[in-house]
Every structure is written in C-alpha cells, then in structure tokens.
C-alpha cells in the first residue's frame, strides 16, 4: 500500500518509527503531513515537529499546510494517489473530502479504549479518573470527534506508579505495533469494523493549569492521581501564601486524619506530609517558584527551616 502518515508530536513519531523499521517493502510511506514549524525555546526559533525530523531522516517528502480545507492543499494530497492515510495526533481537522481521498480512507490511532475518553487528553483523563486500564484504538475516521468505527484495540494496565508521561510512552509503542498488525488485514480486506456504543462515550477535555491546583479537601488517593495525571504538564500545584509550588512526585497515605486539610503535619528527611480530606499526601519531589524541580530531601538539606510542621496550611 501507498501510505500517507499525518502526525506531529513525539507520540506520532514513535508510531511512524515503528512502521518504518518493521513493515518492510510490502508497504511504503510516500508522504508525511505535519503541522508547520513553531517557535520554541528562549530564542523563539522555528522548530520542526518530531514527525518532520524523523521523515527528513528517512528522505520522505514532508507537507505542512496551514489547513486541509484549502483547495490547493486538497489537490496536492489527492495527487499523491494514496491507498491509506494514517493519522496520529496530527492536530488539524480533516474535512470529509480528505477523509475519502485515499482508497481505504483514513485511520486514526487514539490513545484510549474508545468510546471512553474521546477528545484531546485521553491519557491524562484515564489516570485522573482512576481507570484500571487504558489502551490504543485504531479506528476508521469519520466526520465526528473520535466517533469512527473501531478496527483494532490494545490494552494497557495502569499501575499505581504510572504518570501521564510513562503511559504516553507505553501507548505510543502499542500504537505502532497495532498498526503493523492492522496493515496486512486492511490490505487483504480481512478486518471487520465495530461501531462505537454512544451510550458509553466519555469526553477527555483539554487540560488547564487552573484545574491542576490540588484541592486538599479531596481524598489523598485522588490527589495522588492528580500529581501523576498532570505530570509532565501542566503539573499539579498548590499555594503557600502567594507562591505557587509545583508537585512532581507524591503518594497517598491512607490513614485517618483529624488535621485541617492542607495542613503540613510532618516534615521528614525526604518528604512533606500534608493532611487531605481523607488521608495524607506524601510529597517527595517539588518545584519552588523560579527554581528547578528537586527532591524534597535535597531541598531540606540545603534549607532545613524552609517548611515547619503544624504551622503551615497550604491553599
């Protein structure tokens, strides 16, 4: 098959890398579509996407239209005469006319067990909700938001130590492997699509910095999930006076508490222990304003009086 690959971030690049390394000569990625280069870093120099960098290393033609609603961009894509278009975190809307251009249409790699967690942040929402498992769904794209018929699924257990970053990496690997399994089935017409159950659909809204503020009235187990779910971005945080302190690593201590939620009840050599609505949150890695993230043990070694048990109540 002649394949167009459309994607932008690291998640998509991992999928593309797996394809390029393992699909042999039976199929060929004839073009890559990715978002335009964006300003990045302190110098705000234009930086290519992870997918573009990978495509250029493999001498694959790269296209970066601002929109696929443009007639000229659509004509260019149509002239590639593709059998299939694989879309992974591309970031641009594909109009119905584009969805129908490849002979076998467009398929999408989505990082959830659809119909659960359609939308922008499926990995994080699964963690925040306390789901026991997630996975990757390959679906035939239609005009809706992650509503297409499902072609293949993988499963991934969510552990108590998983962060959004670690789940991201696991699911990126699963996505590429799933594509390798799907491609020969599509080529032979040996795949049966399954319609999604709309009654089971949930929406994974985009994350905001505001929602990442820790609410000490909640149980510690929920705050533990928040710390892991918002890592590496936007990063869970709380306030000490007017200073924002970010939390990179923590765990729930499920024992009874009579202290006011938000109270720093204990400072150990390597942790801050804060009362919650139920239990305590044990913070072991944080980031003070204007400082790099660090282990609490390192912070206390250099500044042992920075935090005082039972005298500080955080917001």
Q: Are residues 189 and 214 both part of a single domain?
A: no
Predicted confidence (pLDDT) at residue 41 exceeds the cutoff of 90: no
Predicted confidence (pLDDT) at residue 167 exceeds the cutoff of 90: yes
Predicted confidence (pLDDT) at residue 24 exceeds the cutoff of 90: no
The pLDDT tens digits for 272-309 are 999 999 999 999 999 999 999 999 999 999 899 899 99
Q: Where does the pLDDT of residue 313 fall: very low under 50, low under 70, confident under 90, or very high at 90 and above?
A: confident
Predicted confidence (pLDDT) at residue 109 exceeds the cutoff of 90: yes
CATH number at residue 231: 3.10.25.10
Of the candidates 149, 183, 204, which is a domain's last residue? Answer: 204
Cβ neighbours, 10 Å, residue 188: 8
Of the candidates 170, 204, 238, which is a domain's last residue? Answer: 204
Q: Are residues 200 and 275 both part of a single domain?
A: no
283 burial class (0-12, 13-18, 19+ CB within 10 angstroms)?
buried
Q: Are residues 7 and 139 both part of a single domain?
A: yes
Predicted confidence (pLDDT) at residue 51 exceeds the cutoff of 90: yes
Q: What's the mean pLDDT in 14-22?
A: 97
Poorest-pLDDT segment among 62-66, 155-159, 222-226, 253-257: 253-257
Residue 62 lies in a domain: yes
The pLDDT tens digits for 211-253 are 999 999 999 999 999 999 999 999 999 999 999 999 999 999 9
Given this model, what pLDDT does residue 2 score? Answer: 97
Given this model, what pLDDT does residue 315 score? Answer: 86
User: Residue 46 to residues 13, 42, 58, 233: CA-CA distances in angstroms?
Assistant: 18, 11, 21, 22
Q: Are residues 41 and 188 both part of a single domain?
A: yes
Residue 313 lies in a domain: no
Residue 157 lies in a domain: yes
Which residue segment(s) compose the domain that 271 sits in? 210-302
Q: Are residues 174 and 43 both part of a single domain?
A: yes
Residue 311 lies in a domain: no
Predicted confidence (pLDDT) at residue 197 exceeds the cutoff of 90: yes
Q: Where does the pLDDT of residue 25 fall: very low under 50, low under 70, confident under 90, or very high at 90 and above?
A: confident
Q: Where does the pLDDT of residue 256 fall: very low under 50, low under 70, confident under 90, or very high at 90 and above?
A: confident
Q: Are residues 294 and 184 both part of a single domain?
A: no
Mean pLDDT of the chain: 96
Q: What's the mean pLDDT in 32-43?
A: 91
DSSP state of 239: E
Percent of the chain residues past pLDDT 90, beyond the cut: 92
Task: Show the tokens assigned to 111.
Answer: 């990082």
Whole-angstrom distance, CA of residue 188 vs CA of residue 166? 35
Residue 33 lies in a domain: yes
Predicted confidence (pLDDT) at residue 173 exceeds the cutoff of 90: yes
Q: Euclidean distance between the first and final Cα of the chain, in Å? A: 56
Structural contact between residues 88 and 5, judged by C-beta atoms closer than 8 angstroms: yes
Q: Are residues 163 and 229 both part of a single domain?
A: no
Q: Are residues 11 and 39 both part of a single domain?
A: yes
Q: Are residues 122 and 264 both part of a single domain?
A: no
Residue 312 lies in a domain: no
Q: What does pTM read for this prediction?
A: 0.94
Q: Are residues 160 and 75 both part of a single domain?
A: yes
Q: Where does the pLDDT of residue 311 fall: very low under 50, low under 70, confident under 90, or very high at 90 and above?
A: confident
Of the candidates 176, 204, 232, which is a domain's last residue? Answer: 204
Q: Are residues 80 and 108 both part of a single domain?
A: yes
Q: What's the mean pLDDT in 141-167?
A: 97
Predicted confidence (pLDDT) at residue 42 exceeds the cutoff of 90: no
Residue 35 lies in a domain: yes
Residue 308 lies in a domain: no
The pLDDT tens digits for 71-107 are 999 999 999 999 999 999 999 999 999 999 999 999 9
Q: Are residues 90 and 186 both part of a single domain?
A: yes
Predicted confidence (pLDDT) at residue 174 exceeds the cutoff of 90: yes
Number of domains present in the structure of the chain: 2
Predicted confidence (pLDDT) at residue 255 exceeds the cutoff of 90: no
CATH number at residue 141: 3.40.50.170
pLDDT top residue among 160 and 41: 160
Cα–Cα–Cα angle for 216, 121, 246, nearest 5°? Answer: 35
């Amino acid at each position: 098959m002649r394949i167009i690959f459309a994607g932008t971030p690291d998640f998509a690049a991992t999928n593309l890398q797996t394809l390029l390394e393992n699909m042999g000569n039976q199929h060929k990625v004839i073009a890559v579509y990715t978002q335009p280069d964006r300003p990045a870093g302190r110098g705000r120099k234009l930086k290519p996407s992870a997918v573009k960098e990978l495509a250029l290393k493999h001498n694959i033609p790269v296209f970066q239209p601002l929109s696929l609603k443009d007639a000229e961009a659509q004509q260019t894509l149509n002239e590639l005469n593709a059998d299939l278009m694989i879309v992974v975190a591309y970031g641009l809307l594909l109009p119905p006319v584009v969805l129908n251009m490849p002979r076998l249409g467009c398929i999408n790699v989505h990082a959830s067990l659809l119909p659960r967690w359609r939308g922008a942040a499926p990995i994080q929402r699964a963690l925040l909700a306390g789901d026991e498992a997630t996975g990757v769904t390959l679906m035939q794209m239609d005009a809706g938001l992650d509503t297409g018929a499902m072609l293949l699924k993988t499963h991934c257990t969510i552990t108590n130590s998983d962060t959004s970053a670690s789940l991201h990496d696991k699911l990126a690997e699963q996505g590429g492997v799933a594509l390798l399994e799907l491609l020969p089935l599509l080529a032979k017409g040996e795949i049966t699509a399954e319609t999604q159950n709309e009654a089971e659909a949930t929406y994974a809204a985009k994350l905001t910095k505001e929602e990442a503020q820790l609410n000490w009235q909640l149980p510690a187990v929920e705050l533990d999930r928040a710390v892991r779910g918002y890592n590496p971005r936007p990063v869970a945080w709380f306030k000490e006076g007017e200073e924002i302190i970010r939390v990179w690593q923590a765990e729930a201590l499920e024992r009874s508490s009579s202290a006011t939620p938000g109270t720093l009840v204990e400072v150990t050599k390597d942790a801050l222990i804060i009362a919650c609505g139920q239990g305590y949150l044990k913070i072991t890695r944080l980031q003070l304003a204007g400082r790099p993230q660090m282990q609490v043990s390192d912070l206390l070694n250099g500044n042992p009086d920075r935090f005082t048990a039972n005298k500080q109540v955080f917001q």
